[in-house]
Amino acid sequence: MPEARSGTATVAPVLTRPPAEQHDGTREVLPPELGERQIVFDLSDVEVRYHGVTAVQNVNLRIAAREITAFIGPSGCGKTTVLRTLNRMHDITPGAEVRGRITYHGEDLYGPRVDVAEVRRRIGMVFQKPNPFPKSIHDNVAYGPRINGHKRGDIGDRVEHALQRAALWDEVKDKLRQSALGLSGGQQQRLCIARALAVEPDVVLMDEPCSALDPIATARIEDLMQELKSDYTLVIVTHNMQQAARASDRTAFFTAEVDDAGRRVGHLVEFDATEQLFTQPSDPRTEGYITGRFG
Amino acid sequence: MSTVTAPATTSLLQSRAASRGRRLRNHLATGLIIGSMAVTLVPLVFLVIFVVGRGGHAFGWHFLTTDIPILDREMGGGMKAAVVGTLLITGGATAMAVPLGVLGAVYLNEYGKQSRLARFIRFLSEVMTGVPSIVMGLFIYILWTLHFKSFSGFAGSLALACLMLPIVIRTSEEMLRLVPDELREGSYALGSRKVRTIRTVVLPHAAPGVISGSLLAVARAAGETAPLLFVIGIVTDTNSNLFHGPTTALSAQIFKNAISPFVGAQDRAYGAALTLILLVFVFTALARVVTTVYARRTTAAV
Amino acid sequence: MATETLAPAAPRNLSEGGVPPGRISDRVFRVVTLAAGLLVLVILGLIVVETAGQARSWLSAEGLGTIFSSNWDPAHHHFGALALIVGTLEVAFLALLIAVPVSVGLALFVTEVAPRPLRRYFVYAIDLLAAVPSVVFGLWAIHVLLQPLADVYSSISSATAGIPLLDTLFGSPSRSGQAVMTAGIVVGIMITPIVTAITREVFATCPASQKEAALALGATRWEMIRGSIFPHSRSGVVSAVMIGFGRAVGETIAVALVVGSNQRLSAHLFGTGDTMASIIVNEFGDATGTWRSALIGLGLVLLLLTVVIGIVARSVLGRAERRLAAVT
């Protein structure tokens, strides 16, 4: 299935230089700027299997704090799979196995004494299709703080703060008690963002957050992402290359290839500063994808 | 490389004191949930052990083919009359309820659909599944037994059929609903009329589900006692004529013998209970086998 | 020999009359299936009519107020139904008290907790419980439950003697173990499978996206169940409870064997009692005349009660389904 190719026009054309030194994809090179940034996630040799069959493997990358990191690639290459390892959502996926090592601020995310609920509080997630609870707008955002035991007076402030952060407050402040399901798609997605922000996370993971939205709503969320990155680390999966090119700081390109047994397995091809990846990709496969030759 | 990773002096990911209560409640809830499964399995296991344990030594081919002793206090003997009675009465009920129920379901799903009458019938069928079986027994007693002034196995069949009918209608209608419209349309497009379409396309496709549902209804009917008590009478001689003369059934015999002080009668009750449970379990298992084969067939075809 | 010309006939007006052969069988079949469907209406109607007819002599002899009289005494020609009605409700409520929490737990177990490959087998086990005939439950209860329960009743009764409300509930324990509570326990076990089946289906319709949303916010599994599954399932569970209630009210044979056949109005849960279904089974054989008419009258009350419960349960479920369809 060909990916949406709306962004190629703004990506600088691939230069005619010869392909760079082959990267075998298993050892990404940290661009110099990353050196000064705090590392939030460090993935080494990460592999995910579903019912024994490898879906994605050999993933090595580091995600830096207060940045937007984008995962791009054709369908089925494992970008969402890798994203979901970061908040341990695979724990509830039947048959899913996560191997390798993933650390969060140096701590093993899958360690034996780790509290999964705390993991997910710190590392929030916004899904592809907005999924607000069938409750009021207020109760949606209040859900997280309530679970965490905040008192009633406190909750009202947290709800307002989260909605403001998600750029939704002005639109809903007079109808907090109304059902969240009455909002438009874009508003519902911003509500889901507010809901995630209300628990004061460190990281927000976004799985194709705009794919179900119209272009105007998409643009609003992209603006929101730029505002949020000053306080949160964002990792987003997107099939829209133009979005990755204009919105992210660092981009990881995944692809799926057929292995010896004839099965499609995803892996990480290249991981670089966005501008670098789109103007001077080191791998021919990256080049092929961003110029629309395949995918 | 001057990468800076935050030194993890204190763990960020382990639970904080505040959330200990939450985790405790979570564990407690999980415990209760698992506990409810245990609590449910206990009576089931004990019951099976009880019936098999006490009925096992009486049970056997001899038990099924030997007459019921006339006197309760007699030891030994068998339940032949009851076995024959249960099979005949349940068979008679099935012969009436299943065809009528399937036809009724055909009406609801293929003709009536969402018309007011069809919705009303559907609604009443569902309500009727909740009517206690003893009311069915009273009904047939009034309508049939009082009228003809005699007991018969057939009256029991009528009562059980009244019980089975709404169940067969409901389960069959659900199965018919699962048949995709594309199949019907394909048949119509080839020029088949409705009856032929139903006969050659819809019913065969829904057959496994309908059969499975009917088997479960049969299993339920075979175990019923109350509807039979007033209308079939009670005998010890085997009566192979469904329509003439009183008869007995396994369920009725168990009921009668359950409160008997005599060990002989009690033993026969256990044997009859084991027989009845085996019969019911066989039908239930058969229903499940049919469903599984059906599922495999449809996935294989895809 | 002249071959018949295959000149096409002039196109027929399709809406012209004339019945092509298949049409008749279509119509006949339609009528046949309609008749089969109407059978349900006819039967239900007849049941009401006939039972009411036979119950008439009871009602005319005693008046409608007999339903509220607690004096059931065939020897003296008193046929007050109240004690039986109350007994039926007592047993049914006790059964629900046991069955509903267990069923909810079971449904959660099968949909959320049990390891996926094993779920099927647990469902089979629950269905097996549903397949056991009432009379076999009764037989088992008589021989296995009565004695231990009698001991439990006397211990609790002596422990709570003197405490205001409790000594009424737990006083006068049955020595044989036959009691309202015993019937409640047995019926509770028997209605658990049906309540579980409906509850399980309702829980399974909770969209995965809702559950994921809760978990992704850091909820524990129990918090997710309380926050996403329960609110979603409220009306469905109510409907399941009502259906269980209907079954409990109509349960006959097992109750007849363990409830003790005492037609006195009482709140002693550990004492003997009786229900409408149970007394019909126990006394019908000996009953004549007005007595028999009264028993049939009790059957009518039972019928009306279960029909009303069924209607309410159905409309609650219908409303829930419609609301769900509007949201998804």
Instruction: Read off the pLDDT of residues C106-126 as tens digits, 9 standing for 90 and up.
Output: 999 999 999 888 998 999 899
On the question of pLDDT at B64 being above 90, the answer is no
Query: Are C218 and A144 within 8 A, CB to CB?
Result: yes
Residue A246 lies in a domain: yes
Residue A170 lies in a domain: no
pLDDT-derived band at A28, boundaries 50, 70, 90: very low
> What CA–CA distance (Å, rounded) separates B41 from B61?
30
On the question of pLDDT at A19 being above 50, the answer is no
* Least CB–CB distance from A121: residue in C212, C218, C232: C218
Q: Domain count of chain C?
A: 1
Most confident of A274-283, B180-189, C24-33, C135-144: C135-144
Report percent pLDDT > 90 for chain B: 52
Residue of A nearest to C212 (CA): A89
Residue B88: exposed, middle, or buried by beta-carbon count in 10 A (0-12, 13-18, 19+)?
buried
Residue A99 lies in a domain: yes
CA neighbours closer than 13 Å in the CB half-sphere of residue A165:
22
Residue C84 lies in a domain: yes
| pLDDT averaged over every residue in chain A | 84
* Spatial CA neighbour of C211 closest among C224, C222, C201: C224
Question: What is the block-wise mean pLDDT of chain C (328 residues), using blocks of 10 residues?
Answer: 54 55 78 90 92 87 80 83 92 96 96 90 90 94 93 89 83 88 96 94 91 93 92 89 94 94 88 93 88 91 93 82 64
Q: What local confidence, expressed as pLDDT, does residue C15 receive?
A: 54
* Maximum pairwise Cα distance, chain C: 113
The answer to whether ipTM exceeds 0.90 is no
Residue C3 lies in a domain: no
Q: What local confidence, expressed as pLDDT, does residue C16 receive?
A: 54
Q: Give yes or no for A148 touching B (CB within 8 A).
A: yes
| Nearest chain B CA: its distance from C1 CA (Å) | 33
Residue B48: exposed, middle, or buried by beta-carbon count in 10 A (0-12, 13-18, 19+)?
middle
Instruction: Read off the pLDDT of residues B234-274 as tens digits, 9 standing for 90 and up.
Output: 888 888 888 888 999 999 999 999 888 888 888 899 999 99
| Nearest chain B CA: its distance from A234 CA (Å) | 18
Taking contacts as CB-CB distances below 8 angstroms, the residues of chain B near C285 are: 229-230
Residue A279 lies in a domain: yes
Query: Are A115 and B14 within 8 A, CB to CB?
Result: yes
On the question of pLDDT at A11 being above 60, the answer is no
Residue C195 lies in a domain: yes
On the question of pLDDT at A16 being above 70, the answer is no
* Least CB–CB distance from B127: residue in C33, C277, C310: C310
Interface of B with A in 9-28 (CB under 8 A): 11-16, 18-19, 22-23
User: Best mutation site among B3, B11, B13 for testing chain A: the one with the most A CBs within 10 Å?
Assistant: B13
What's the mean pLDDT in B121-127?
A: 91
- Residue identified by tokens 């209760």 is B32
Residue A76: exposed, middle, or buried by beta-carbon count in 10 A (0-12, 13-18, 19+)?
middle
Least confident of B13-27, B151-165, C312-326: C312-326
Q: What is the CATH number of the domain that holds A272?
A: 3.40.50.300
Q: What local confidence, expressed as pLDDT, does residue A200 receive?
A: 92
CA neighbours closer than 13 Å in the CB half-sphere of residue B240:
1
Q: What local confidence, expressed as pLDDT, does residue C13 receive?
A: 56
Q: Give yes or no for C227 touching A (CB within 8 A).
A: yes
Q: What local confidence, expressed as pLDDT, does residue C328 receive?
A: 52
Structural domain including A54 reads 8-13+23-135+199-290
Residue A148 lies in a domain: no
What's the mean pLDDT in A217-239?
A: 92
Instruction: Read off the pLDDT of residues B79-100 as tens digits, 9 standing for 90 and up.
Output: 888 999 999 999 999 999 999 9
DSSP B17: G
**pTM of the predicted model, to two decimals?**
0.84
Q: Domains (ranges, CATH) in chain B? A: 80-301 (1.10.3720.10)
What's the mean pLDDT in B182-200?
A: 87
Query: Are A106 and B7 within 8 A, CB to CB?
Result: yes
Q: Is the dihedral of CA C108, C110, C111, C117 positive or negative?
A: positive
Q: What local confidence, expressed as pLDDT, does residue C4 receive?
A: 54
Q: What local confidence, expressed as pLDDT, does residue C141 receive?
A: 94
How many angstroms separate the Cα of C260 from the Cα of each of B290, C114, C182?
42, 40, 10
Q: What local confidence, expressed as pLDDT, does residue A34 receive?
A: 53
The first and second tokens of residue C15, run together, are: 């809406």
Q: What local confidence, expressed as pLDDT, does residue A13 receive?
A: 30
Residue A142 lies in a domain: no
Residue A45 lies in a domain: yes
Q: Give yes or no for A101 touching B (CB within 8 A).
A: no
Residue A281 lies in a domain: yes
Q: What local confidence, expressed as pLDDT, does residue A20 receive?
A: 38
- Residue identified by tokens 């940045």 is A67
The pairing of strands A123-126 and A203-207 is parallel
A11 and A241 in contact (C-beta within 8 Å)? yes
Taking contacts as CB-CB distances below 8 angstroms, the residues of chain B near A42 are: 5
Q: Give yes or no for B235 touching C (CB within 8 A).
A: no
Residue C19 lies in a domain: no
Residue of A nearest to B8 (CA): A106
Structural domain including C253 reads 61-327
How many angstroms separate the Cα of B8 from the Cα of each of A42, B14, C55, C216?
14, 12, 82, 24
Instruction: Read off the pLDDT of residues B199-221 as tens digits, 9 standing for 90 and up.
Output: 888 888 899 999 999 999 999 99
* Spatial CA neighbour of C261 closest among C280, C247, C248: C280
Q: What is the CATH number of the domain that holds C84?
A: 1.10.3720.10
C317 and C243 in contact (C-beta within 8 Å)? no
Residue C29 lies in a domain: no
Q: Domain count of chain A?
A: 1
The first and second tokens of residue A8, run together, are: 């190629």
Chains that touch B (3 or more CB pairs under 8 A): A, C
